[in-house]
Each structure stands twice: as C-alpha cells, then as structure tokens.
Amino acid sequence: MPSLESLPPELLCSILSHAEPFNPTIKQYTVNFKTCKHNLESIITHPLYNLAATSKHLKDTVEEYARILLKKHAKFHGPKKSNKFIYRKKWLKWLDATCQLCHKKSVRKAIFDNIMTCCATCDKKEWPKMTMTDASHKHNLSRLDLFTPNILHPDLPKLSVALYCCMGTNATMLLEREVLERKRYIHDLLGDHAKNTAFMQSRRNRHLRIIKHMDVTIHRGKWIRQSHTLSAEKKESKSMSSAEERRRFTEKMVEQERMYMQG
C-alpha cells in the first residue's frame, strides 16, 4: 500500500501546496511550565511543521519545498551548506513580515484577506474600500441595501465585509467596486426616484425605522437580533408598542418600499 513517503517528490510537493504554505498566521501558544515562558520553537503548529515532524524523509521534502518557495517568491538563496538553517522557518517568517505585493517590510495583514501580509499603501491600491458610514452617507444606500439578503432584498447576494480596527474601534469596511455596483442596481430599481436626493435621504431614514421595528441590528457586518426594551423615558409610538404592531408596521413599510422599487 503506498504511503506518503513512497510518493514521488512532484506529487509530494503538490500535496504540500494544500498544507497552507502561504498562511504564516497559524500558531498555537503553549507555555513551558518549567520556565513559564513561551517556547518559540514549540508553539509553531503550522501544517508544514507538523508534516516535517513525522519523519526525516518528509522533513527533507518540506525543507526542499520551502527552499523552492523562498527562491521563487523572495529571490532568496539560502546557505550552500548548513545543517542549522531551517528553510520552512525562514519562509513563514518572510511571509509574515513582508508585504506580498511590493515586498517591503510590513507585518500588517490585508483588511479583506487576514492571512496575507500587505502594507497600507498596497492594501489601499489593490482593494479600494470604504466604511459602511461612507457607503450609506455618500452614496445614499441604506443598511437594507448593503447588508443582503434581507426582508427587502431577499434574493440579493451578500457583499464582502471586513472589520478594520482603527484607534480602538472596529470600522465595518466594504469594497468600493461592490458598493458602486450595488448602487447602480438600486438606482435602476428606483428609476427617477434615485435622482431625487431628498427622496434618497428620506428613504434611508425610512429603512432605519424598518430596521428598528424588526428588532435587528448590524453587528460585525451581520444582522443580529436585538431584544426590544420599552423606553421608560420617552413614549413609544403605537407601531413599536408590541411585537404584533412592529411586525404589522414592518410589512406595511416593506410593501411600500417595494412599490418604489418598481420605478
């Protein structure tokens, strides 16, 4: 029966290409209880390391594979002869600390690809993006237009969403290309209404009211249920007074919005 070790090197390299060779972020932290310190050599549980740990033959294969990757992508030629040099270690370190687009030093990961090291300049250039607030205010798209599918747009696909932590707060990011495409689609549905800025602004506010009556909110780019608590200070409107009233209001408003979308 053939084993991994009996396979020809080309086939082994093809198998290794599925062992997350371009993901430098797989790490698992364990503590060395004797010293109470992280032992850097023992924490790496990357599939390439796991495979290399199984036998000398697979270790040599992984090393050769990492050497080829370094030569091809980093133009790095390792020492001619050294028993101490570890190519897989060098490869993962290089991936983790080098922008994969311009090859400058960087440790940040791309906002829309959290395993790819990418400097801020390349990230901006390669993936033009905007915050949810900009998509909503500058392009007059409501949250119901952006975070689909939902009650108003049950058949619209999901847009790509990523979170970006900036000064301690998470900003919800969307790809510019997808937002503009969505805008064109919504404008087509709305026909002449879309040319009326005041209409578009009040439409956005109406959608906020629908969302409020649905007892849902957007959290980390996803719709989540929000338990409804009656406000003690201000009097709630009749439409908010019970689950049945909220459901009735939502249905009526969604129906009206659908009428507008027929042009």
Residues near Zn ion, by CB under 5 A: 99, 101-102, 119, 122
Q: Toward Zn ion, which CB reaches closer, 110 or 210? A: 110
Q: Toward Zn ion, which CB reaches closer, 51 or 122? A: 122
Report helix, strand or coil for 63.
Answer: helix
Residue 88 CB, nearest distance to Zn ion (Å)? 24
* C-alpha–C-alpha distance, residues 133 and 142, integer Å: 10
Q: Which single residue is written with the structure tokens 């129906």?
A: 255
Residue 109 CB, nearest distance to Zn ion (Å)? 12
Q: Toward Zn ion, which CB reaches closer, 122 or 179? A: 122
Residue 119 CB, nearest distance to Zn ion (Å)? 3
Residue 164 CB, nearest distance to Zn ion (Å)? 17
* C-alpha–C-alpha distance, residues 114 and 162, integer Å: 9
* E-assigned strand segments in 179-243: 216-219, 222-225
Q: Which single residue is written with the structure tokens 């919005």?
A: 257
Q: Toward Zn ion, which CB reaches closer, 118 or 175? A: 118
Q: Toward Zn ion, which CB reaches closer, 64 or 113? A: 113
Residue 12 CB, nearest distance to Zn ion (Å)? 32
Q: Cβ(26)–Cβ(46) under 8 Å?
A: yes
Residue 117 CB, nearest distance to Zn ion (Å)? 9
Q: Toward Zn ion, which CB reaches closer, 102 or 163? A: 102
Q: Cβ(131)–Cβ(140) under 8 Å?
A: no
Q: Residue 183 has which token pair? A: 């805008």
Nearest to 240 by CA among 215, 205, 204, 206: 215
Q: Toward Zn ion, which CB reaches closer, 100 or 140? A: 100
User: CB-based burial of residue 133 (10 Å sphere; 0-12 exposed, 13-18 middle, 19+ buried)?
Assistant: exposed
Q: What share of the chain is helix, strand, coil (3-state, %, to 5)?
A: 50, 15, 35
DSSP letter assigned to residue 98: B
Residue 263 CB, nearest distance to Zn ion (Å)? 45
